[in-house]
Amino acid sequence: MSNKPLKKSDSNKAWRKPRCEKTRMISPEYHLIVTEGTKTEPHYFEGLRNEINLKYPGRISIKIEGVGQGANTLTLLEMAEQLVKISVTDYKHVWLVYDKDDFPKDDFDNTYFKCMALSKDSPITYHALWSNECIEYWFLLHYIQLAAALPRNEYYPMLSEHLCAKYKKNSEDIYSMLRPNMYSAIKNAKNIMSNYEELPPSQCTPGTNVYEIFEKLQDYLK
């Protein structure tokens, strides 16, 4: 390599100037979240959507449909497939959010397994975000690693204690209230689920895999 000094006439030429690399923000793929519940879960996941959409507008879409509690969980999957079919959005991930509640264990498990089967032959990944017994169990994991199986109504006073306010099932600000402890919830949920190995969801009592959507989107939540 030549050690000759740079000619003054060459100092302003384009090939002498360092490249200006622009930092590009990578947009997340399009996601569709379909919930069984009509208030608690939608309010919660709307908070997630809103946080991400501040940086990446329009990337997270939540569709609230009148499935309602007590309907067959497989109906939720069929509805999600229909929403994908008629949508002009190129979804890459579809998330079904549902609770164990009073569903027969076969319905509860089959939704999970059908999501896995659908994803094998589709460009879209279907995810079953289940909670056994209910979404409030996921909420409690933001504060404690609860391994005891409790009925839904016992979660409410426990949440009220940790929130330092009465837990309201249809609270519109539940996401923002829980958000500071999100990583604790992920850790606690994964620790609980590690005890079940390959058991189907209906036998994971208590348990939840709601943390999976937060792990998937964590790069956009920093």
Give per-residue pLDDT as tens, 172-184: 999 999 999 999 9
Sign of CA dihedral 173, 179, 182, 185: negative
CA 121 vs. chain centroid, Å, equals 22
Q: What's the pTM?
A: 0.84
**What are the DSSP E strand ranges found in 37-117?**
60-64, 93-99
Q: How sure is the predictor about 15, in pLDDT bands with cuts at 50, 70 and 90? A: very low
197: pLDDT strictly greater than 90? no
Under a CB-based contact definition with an 8 Å cutoff, are residues 189 and 214 in contact? no
**What are the DSSP E strand ranges found in 45-104?**
60-64, 93-99
74: pLDDT strictly greater than 80? no
- Tokens for 20, please give them: 């200006």
Phi and psi, residue 35, nearest 5°: -110, 150
Q: What is the pLDDT of residue 62?
A: 81
**DSSP label at 119?**
H
**pLDDT, tens digit, for every residue of 84-125?**
999 998 999 999 999 987 678 888 999 999 999 999 988 999
Listed residue (24, 22, 21, 26) closest to 219, CA to CA: 26
Phi and psi, residue 75, nearest 5°: -60, -35
Q: How sure is the predictor about 128, in pLDDT bands with cuts at 50, 70 and 90? A: very high
**DSSP label at 37?**
S
Q: What is the pLDDT of residue 37?
A: 84
Question: Which residues, 6+ apart, have CB-to-CB distance to 159 below 8 Å?
Answer: 136, 139, 140, 167
Mean pLDDT of the chain: 86
**DSSP label at 180?**
G
Q: Quick count: other Cβ atoms within 10 Å of Cβ 78?
A: 12
21: pLDDT strictly greater than 50? no
Q: What is the pLDDT of residue 63?
A: 80
